[in-house]
């Protein structure tokens, strides 16, 4: 058996690469034809029904506007209802046929049943489910002092996608609908200080790839993988309430460059309507996959060189530390425009402060 594997190890990779090189032009041609056909005869969202989770900010909000401009009926879901109200108003102005909102926690299965049942009883159908909920973090794994943050990060970033999908699937089968997921380039290209986020995104990717097989062509799956997109998440901002926001100082010092959220949202929605299996932004990240398989050490060296710890404090924000200070050296630097000075932030972006109840 070892000899067999030895021979296969020697033969299969080069033979596959040669086959791929020869078939590449034909594959590209077929993909281009399919793309053109689907662009012309893609799904018309006029009067269709779309649920968007995580619609209260960033990419989710912009996706809501994209569907609105296509004349869809919307159900917008997030925990901050007051933010959803303003976004619903904008969506109506932009052309949405009808907009419903619901405050819900996607980590709770009952909440997912509530907003999906409400959608079905009002609109009578469901065509697209767009999952955009997430929670990022910026701590080194070894800095964690309170492991209670671990399940929370996994809950939001993984189960928060799975529960709505499970509840929505019977209705998506009826409409030959589609699930759209926001993974991240981190699902296969991990970066430091985002270990649990990257792990959850990798789990998400594998879960939906498996689901794609199981669903065959009855329900489509579009997986969006993107790098840095300018949004509240990447600017390290917690929105506590309208006009009261707080940023992690460290995050603001990091210059985030990336395509605009609007552009990415447009790409996702047009990709979903075309029936694309993947939406990548920017797509040149794919080349790192080759390095990961064939030259992982080069990738490792390059990252160590590029992402040097110099200039970045080893400490991070309170995110993921359960609100506990990290020690004098590791004290997170919080600066905010909020009237609340230096409250104890927890990983969930909420305050363990008397003000918390008021903000909730
Ligand atoms: N921005 C980037 O550069 C980037 C890069 C790669 C991947 N992504 C992915 O793209 C997606 C959107 O990112 P974003 O930057 O737009 O994030 P964001 O602005 O932080 O938005 C996250 C959304 O999730 C909602 N949410 C969080 N926990 C929730 C819960 N338990 N129940 C219901 N809603 C919840 C938040 O609303 P409430 O707080 O009101 O609940 C918010 O609307 C995410 O999946 C993210 O991982 C983003």
Nearest Cα neighbor of 57 from 29, 76, 70 is: 76
- The C-alpha angle 344, 158, 166, rounded to 5 degrees, equals 130
Mutate to test the pocket of ligand 1, among 77, 133, 155, 281 (most ligand atoms within 8 A of CB): 133
CA 256 to ligand 1: nearest atom: 3
User: Within a 13 Å sphere around the CA of 28, how many CA atoms are in the beta-carbon half?
Assistant: 6
Question: How many angstroms separate the CA atoms of 121 and 161, rounded?
Answer: 22
143-152, 196-205, 212-221, 342-351: least confidently modelled range: 342-351
| Whether pLDDT at 91 is above 90 | yes
Contact 99, 91 (CB under 8 A): yes
Q: Say how many CA atoms lie within 13 Å of 223 toward its Cβ.
A: 17
Q: Are 52 and 132 in contact (CB under 8 A)?
A: yes
pLDDT the model gives residue 49? 98
CA of 20 to the centre of ligand 1 (A): 37
- pLDDT surpasses 60 at 84: yes
What ligand 1 atom has the least distance to the C-alpha of 83? 40
| Token pair of 31 as six digits | 């993909």
Q: CA of 344: how far to CAs of 63, 185, 246, 332, in Å?
A: 32, 31, 12, 11
Respond yes or no: is residue 140 known to be catalytic.
no
User: What gap in Å lies between CA 351 and CA 345, rounded to an integer?
Assistant: 5
| pLDDT, the chain, mean | 80
Q: What is the pTM of this model?
A: 0.81
Tell me: pLDDT of 198 over 80. Answer: yes
Ramachandran region, residue 243 (left: φ > 0; alpha: ψ -120 to 50; beta: rest): left
User: What's the CA angle centered on 322, arms 317 and 325, to 5 degrees?
Assistant: 55
15 pLDDT higher than 90: yes
Those residues with Cβ within 8 angstroms of residue 68's Cβ, 6 or more apart along the chain or in another chain: 74, 90, 91, 92, 94, 95, 96, 99
- Tokens (6 digits) for 317: 């924000």
> Does the CB atom of residue 79 touch ligand 1 within 6 A?
yes
Tell me 177's DSSP state.
-
State the average pLDDT over residues 313-319. 42
Atom 6 in ligand 1: residue holding the nearest Cα: 184
Position 310 scores a pLDDT of 52
> CB-based burial of residue 347 (10 Å sphere; 0-12 exposed, 13-18 middle, 19+ buried)?
buried
On whether the CB atoms of residues 219 and 173 are closer than 8 A, the answer is yes
Q: Whose CA is nearest to atom 34 of ligand 1?
A: 78
Distances (CA, A) of 70 to 36, 150, 212: 19, 39, 26
Q: pLDDT class for 251, splitting at 50, 70, 90?
A: very low
Between 92 and 287, the more confident residue is 92
Lowest model confidence (mean pLDDT) among 10-14, 150-154, 310-314: 310-314
Rounded to whole angstroms, the maximal C-alpha distance in the chain is 70
Taking only the tens place, the pLDDT of each residue in 43-54 is: 999 999 999 999
């Amino acid at each position: 058996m070892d000899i067999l594997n030895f021979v296969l190890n020697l033969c299969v990779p080069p033979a596959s690469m040669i086959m791929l090189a020869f078939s590449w032009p034909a594959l590209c041609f077929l993909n281009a034809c399919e793309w053109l056909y689907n662009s012309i005869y893609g799904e018309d969202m006029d009067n269709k029904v779309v649920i968007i989770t995580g619609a209260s900010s960033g990419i989710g909000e912009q996706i809501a506007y994209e569907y609105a401009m296509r004349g869809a009926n919307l159900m917008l879901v997030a925990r901050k209802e007051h933010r959803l109200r303003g976004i619903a108003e904008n969506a109506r102005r932009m052309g949405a046929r009808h907009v419903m909102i619901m405050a819900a926690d996607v980590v709770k299965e009952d909440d997912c049943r509530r907003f999906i049942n409400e959608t079905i009883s009002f609109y009578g159908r469901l065509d697209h489910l767009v999952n955009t909920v997430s929670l990022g973090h910026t701590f080194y794994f070894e800095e964690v002092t309170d492991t209670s943050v671990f399940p929370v990060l996994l809950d939001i970033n993984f189960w928060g996608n799975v529960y709505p999908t499970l509840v929505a699937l019977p209705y998506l089968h009826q409409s030959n609908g589609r699930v759209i997921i926001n993974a991240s380039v981190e699902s296969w290209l991990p970066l430091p200080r985002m270990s649990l986020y990257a792990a959850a995104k990798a789990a998400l990717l594998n879960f939906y790839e498996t689901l794609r097989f199981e669903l065959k062509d009855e329900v489509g799956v579009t997986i969006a993988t993107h790098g840095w997109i300018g949004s509240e998440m990447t600017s390290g901002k917690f929105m506590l309430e309208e006009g009261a926001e707080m940023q992690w100082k460290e995050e603001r010092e990091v210059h985030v460059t990336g395509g605009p959220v609007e552009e990415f949202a447009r790409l996702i929605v047009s990709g979903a309507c075309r029936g694309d299996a993947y939406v990548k932004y920017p797509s040149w990240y794919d080349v790192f996959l080759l390095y990961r398989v064939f030259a992982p050490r080069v990738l490792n060296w390059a990252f160590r060189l590029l992402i040097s710890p110099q200039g970045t404090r080893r400490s991070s924000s309170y995110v993921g530390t359960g609100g506990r200070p990290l020690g004098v050296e590791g004290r997170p630097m919080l600066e905010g425009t909020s009237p609340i000075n230096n409250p104890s932030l927890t990983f969930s972006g909420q305050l363990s402060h008397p003000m918390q109840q008021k903000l909730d």
